[in-house]
Amino acid sequence: MNIFKLIFHDFKSYRMISILIILNIIISAFVICFSYGIYQNYNTVIVEGESAEHELEILPTKESDDYKSSITTKMVIDTVKSLSDETLGNIEYFSCETYLPTSAIEKNLFNFRFSYNNGKFHDDLFTDEEYNSYDKIVSISSSFRKKNTKLISGIGNDTYISKYIGDAKSIDINGEEFKIIDTYCSMMASPITAFNNDTPLVEGLSISFKTDISRSQYDEIKNSVAMNMGNNAEVPELDITPASELFYYRTILMISVLISILAALNFAVLYRFVLEKRIKMLTIFRICGCTKLRMIFTYLLECVIIGLPIFALTLIAFDKFVLPLLSNIFEYIGYAYSPILYLAIFGIYSVSSFVILLIMISVYISRRSITELKARR
């Protein structure tokens, strides 16, 4: 009995059923691979942990009434620079502030809001070149240059009145000379890099994230703060919940087996229809002396020749064409797959299909004796 002729005969005679069988195999392979990848993507996020918070406050351990704290601008700059590109990629901006005496106003609030990536600082007020030059520059509102104009700045319960500076090219800030540049601002502003020293910051450093804070990002920031700020700062604990990796591993393994069994059942139901259509052929083989065991082996071999190559080719197509597209949507899904994993999926499906089809074909053949087959004829 030529198996390949039998397969060709089935496809020619029962084309719709054959197409459904092939689609069943392809869809089953995609569903098993996709479900495993989604699990691994989700499991990576959960095991790593995430916090629902999008803000992280790095607080000074010491503060004083004269707007000073144990955290300085240099500590912040060094901490930001030490973070990895992956963590920086999830940070929208850093913000901090300081109050400093100037020759234009007795005490001015300098609010620093900036980002850092690709080795450079960025903000909306200064150019990248200005911000990363570390030059002592300051932007001042045009109101300071107008005669007889006074601005009032309320800081706490204190009130300070601005001083007329006219066409001055520079001003004094905290005892240092800063060059005035032509950039619009509401009052007075400078890059934090202009204070690359021990200028104290008020209330520490605030970090705003684009998405939820992960455990690895939190740990990295905490370690960086400890390295660059020491005992001068503290990072509050966040509620980042870990997951049981073993529990999820067993769960997805059970799901993969269940999907494989359901796929094998679908295959068996469709193939049983083919067997019903072959009742005349089965009768001839049995009358001619073909044993039940031989018939079971023949039909089972036919299913294996049809099912396993198609399933294997689908796994290859998934890895080469579908997975790159899914990686753009699910960040960690690409790390879930390996040749060993594909072999495991192929093995689970092969064993499940073999067992289910063996049972179905054996029961079908065993219940039909030669006498019964002759009677049906």
pLDDT tens track for 9-23 = 667 776 787 788 888
How many Cβ atoms from other residues are within 10 Å of residue 320's Cβ? 9
Given this model, what pLDDT does residue 280 score?
Answer: 75
- What confidence tier does 243 reach under pLDDT thresholds 50, 70, 90? very low
pLDDT tens track for 21-73 = 888 888 888 888 877 777 666 555 554 544 456 788 999 988 766 667 889 99
Given this model, what pLDDT does residue 95 score?
Answer: 94
Given this model, what pLDDT does residue 331 score?
Answer: 66
Distance (Å, rounded) from C-alpha 24 to C-alpha 123?
55
243: tokens are 């997951």
Q: What is the pTM of this model?
A: 0.53
Whether residue 147 is predicted with pLDDT greater than 50 in this model: the reply is yes
- What confidence tier does 116 reach under pLDDT thresholds 50, 70, 90? very high
Contact 179, 138 (CB under 8 A): yes
Q: Checking phi first, is residue 315 left (phi over 0); if not, alpha (psi -120 to 50) or beta?
A: alpha
- What confidence tier does 192 reach under pLDDT thresholds 50, 70, 90? very high
The single residue listed with the structure tokens 């087996």 is 257
- What confidence tier does 244 reach under pLDDT thresholds 50, 70, 90? very low
Query: Among the ranges 73-87, 152-166, 363-377, which has the highest mean pLDDT value?
Result: 73-87
Whether residue 152 is predicted with pLDDT greater than 70 in this model: the reply is no
For residue 95, report the phi and psi dihedrals to the nearest 5 degrees.
-145, 140
Distance (Å, rounded) from C-alpha 47 to C-alpha 248?
10
Contact 231, 75 (CB under 8 A): no
Distance (Å, rounded) from C-alpha 40 to C-alpha 319?
15
Contact 292, 328 (CB under 8 A): no
Distance of CA 52 to the CA centre of its chain: 15
27: tokens are 């869809």
Given this model, what pLDDT does residue 332 score?
Answer: 63
Mean predicted confidence (pLDDT) in 106-129: 90
Range in 4-8, 32-36, 166-170, 319-323 the model is least confident about: 4-8
Distance of CA 369 to the CA centre of its chain: 59
Whether residue 246 is predicted with pLDDT greater than 60 in this model: the reply is no
Give every CB contact of residue 222 below 8 A, 6+ residues apart in sequence: 235
Contact 253, 36 (CB under 8 A): no
Q: What angle, 0 to 180 degrees and rounded to 10, lies between the N-to-C axes of helices 292-317 and 279-287? A: 130
Range in 163-167, 235-239, 320-324, 369-373 the model is least confident about: 369-373
Whether residue 157 is predicted with pLDDT greater than 60 in this model: the reply is no
Distance (Å, rounded) from C-alpha 216 to C-alpha 221?
9
Given this model, what pLDDT does residue 376 score?
Answer: 54
- What confidence tier does 161 reach under pLDDT thresholds 50, 70, 90? low
Q: What percent of the chain has pLDDT over 70?
A: 78
The single residue listed with the structure tokens 């455990």 is 215
pLDDT tens track for 258-315 = 788 888 888 888 888 888 777 777 777 777 777 888 888 888 888 888 888 998 999 8
The residue among 256 and 309 whose pLDDT is bigger is 309
